[in-house]
Amino acid sequence: MKAIKYDKKMHFVAGFIIALIALAITAFMWWLFESNTLIIKLGVTIAPILAGIAKEFWDMHKPNNKFDAIDMLFTWMGGAVIFIPVWFIN
């Protein structure tokens, strides 16, 4: 089995951290406004996806670099570690 490259691991960790920060922010907003938990679920799901897309578009404009969907997927998978369990909260 081929080892996962360092760059992919960093994308995974970044997605995890971004989702964790989004969870903290949206949970605070939910507590502050006593709103529906859907805000938490959507915020935690969307944040790593948007971060992955933004990072790849940023990379695309650098010399000798391109848009890498696999990097974006690893960012999203790191976030999935947080957002999948969050979707099971009532």
Q: Which two tokens stand for residue 75?
A: 């960012």
Q: What percent of the chain is predicted at pLDDT more than 90? A: 53
What is the C-alpha to C-alpha distance for residues 44 and 65, in angstroms, rounded to an integer?
Answer: 28
Confidence of residue 8 (pLDDT cuts 50, 70, 90): very high
Q: Where are the alpha helices (DSSP H) in 1-90?
A: 6-33, 38-60, 69-86
Q: Which of 43, 29, 30, 38 is nearest to 79 (CA)?
A: 43
List pLDDT tens digits, range 19-47. 999 999 988 888 888 777 788 888 899 99
DSSP state, 88?
A: T
- This prediction's pTM: 0.85
pLDDT of 75 reads 94
What is the C-alpha to C-alpha distance for residues 40 and 36, in angstroms, rounded to an integer?
Answer: 8
pLDDT of 30 reads 83
